[in-house]
């Protein structure tokens, strides 16, 4: 018999000691995330079958119509995170404000906060295209024994103790880091077990994929336009290949495996970009750096940005280090664009 594949549960236990501050809580927290991911996966896979599809009609704080599955995923993650005696508060892209876990639920004595985009790219569900869950975990800065505060959530990405995403794709994967590299686990849906399928994930060198919504070209900053021209030039290993799913987790995941850059810049339509610093960019940036890549807002590292509000947006350039650095060079030709 060949060697047996390692499961996520085994992996978490083996690497328990690498978690900063943790006395086993982070392992339990990851265990609860893998359970929530399975529930969401099950529901996402049924999306074409049941009448859960389509807009639920509610508008979220950013004025976007929420899809029913967004709400479902949000509820699952909220519920599972509340009930584990680990988390003192949760902030979600789908909630207007952060959620305090009450003293009754033991929340005041818990050490961690979780920030999540429970179902990113949900406009893709109706058309059977991959979506994802993104999560980010911090140690609280406020004192144990008190309710969670906004400051616990407004920490720089550098302070993350773990981050990851689930991709509901042709197969379902959970990819995460605790600051000791990036590992990817694939779900065997028949058994409900996650197996270590992608150990120590790293961006390959010599990436050739660029991912950007080029329909917005006319609204892009000049540095981005110049970089796109560079991507399309005939020279060395260029022109690059353009690939854009419109689902951050999927675009990022492919680029990490094949080598590439994802860009969601500022534009005259979205002067601060579209993606959210806390729920989307920081966790993806942490994974990118841990996989040897880089993530910037065009000028500075995403994880060095001091957050000022929960739903803050930032321009986002993430992927293979040398590609992001090349884009950064072009951005630096227009230093005024750093003041977005």
The DSSP secondary structure of 16-67, one letter per residue, reads GGGSTT-SSHHHHHHHHHHHHHHHHHHHHHTTTTSTT-SEEEEE-TTSPEEE
Q: Does 315 bind ligand AHM (CB under 6 A)?
A: no
CA-nearest of 265, 40, 33 to 136 is 33
- How many Cα atoms sit within 13 Å of 320 on the Cβ side? 19
Minimum CB distance to Mg ion smaller for 244 or for 334: 244
Query: Which of helix, strand or coil describes residue 221?
Result: coil
Give me the 94-133 binding string for Mg ion, x by CB under 5 A, dash otherwise: -----------------------x--x-------------
Measured in residues, the chain has a length of: 340
Number of residues that bind ligand AHM (CB under 6 A): 11
Q: Which stretch binds ligand AHM (CB under 6 A): 79-87, 149-157, 171-179, 245-253?
A: 245-253
Distance CA(17)–CA(163), nearest Å, equals 17
**Least CB distance to ligand AHM at residue 328 (A):** 20
Structure tokens at 94: 């789908």
- For residue 318, what are the β-bridge partners? 262, 295
Question: Positive or negative, the Cα torsion across 167, 170, 173, 175?
Answer: negative
Q: How many CB atoms lie within 10 A of CB 306?
A: 8
Q: Does 251 bind Mg ion (CB under 5 A)?
A: no
**Least CB distance to Mg ion at residue 325 (A):** 26
**Least CB distance to ligand AHM at residue 309 (A):** 16
Give me the 270-309 binding string for ligand AHM, x by CB under 6 A, dash otherwise: ----x-----------------------------------
Among Mg ion, ligand AHM, none, partner that 292 touches (CB below 5 to 8 angstroms by kind): none
Q: Which stretch binds ligand AHM (CB under 6 A): 115-123, 139-147, 152-160, 165-173?
A: 115-123
* H/E segment holding residue 279: none
Give me the 194-233 binding string for ligand AHM, x by CB under 6 A, dash otherwise: -------------------x--------------------
Contacting positions for ligand AHM (CB under 6 A): 64, 117, 120-122, 213, 246-248, 251, 274
């Amino acid at each position: 018999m060949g060697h047996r594949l390692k499961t996520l549960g085994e992996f978490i236990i083996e690497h328990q000691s690498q978690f900063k501050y943790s006395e086993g809580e982070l392992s339990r927290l990851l265990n609860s995330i893998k359970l929530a991911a399975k529930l969401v996966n099950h529901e996402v896979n049924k999306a074409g079958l049941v009448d859960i599809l389509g807009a639920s009609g509610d508008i979220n704080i950013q004025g976007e119509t929420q899809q029913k599955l967004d709400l479902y995923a949000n509820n699952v993650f909220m519920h599972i995170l509340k009930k584990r005696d680990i988390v003192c508060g949760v902030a979600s892209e789908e909630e207007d404000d952060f959620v305090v876990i009450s003293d009754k639920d033991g929340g005041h004595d818990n050490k961690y906060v979780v920030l999540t985009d429970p179902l990113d790219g949900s406009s893709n569900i109706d058309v059977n295209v991959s979506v994802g869950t993104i999560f980010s975990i911090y140690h609280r800065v406020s004192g144990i024994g008190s309710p969670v505060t906004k400051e616990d959530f407004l920490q720089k990405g550098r302070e993350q103790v773990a981050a990851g995403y689930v991709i509901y794709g042709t197969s379902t994967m959970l990819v995460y880091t605790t600051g000791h590299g990036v590992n990817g686990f694939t779900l065997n849906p028949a058994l409900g077990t996650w197996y270590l399928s992608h150990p120590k994930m790293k961006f390959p060198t010599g990436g050739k994929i660029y991912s950007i919504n080029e329909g917005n070209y006319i609204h892009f900053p000049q540095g981005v336009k110049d970089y796109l021209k560079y991507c399309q030039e005939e020279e060395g290993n260029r022109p690059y290949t353009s690939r854009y799913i419109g689902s951050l987790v999927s675009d990022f995941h492919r680029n990490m495996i094949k080598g590439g850059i994802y860009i969601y810049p500022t534009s005259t339509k979205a002067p601060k970009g579209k993606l959210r610093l806390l729920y989307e960019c920081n966790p993806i940036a942490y994974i990118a750096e841990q996989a040897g890549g880089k993530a910037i807002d065009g000028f500075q590292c995403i994880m060095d940005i001091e957050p000022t509000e929960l739903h803050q947006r930032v321009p986002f350039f993430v992927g293979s280090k040398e590609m992001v650095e090349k884009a950064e060079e072009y951005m630096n030709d227009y230093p005024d664009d750093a003041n977005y």
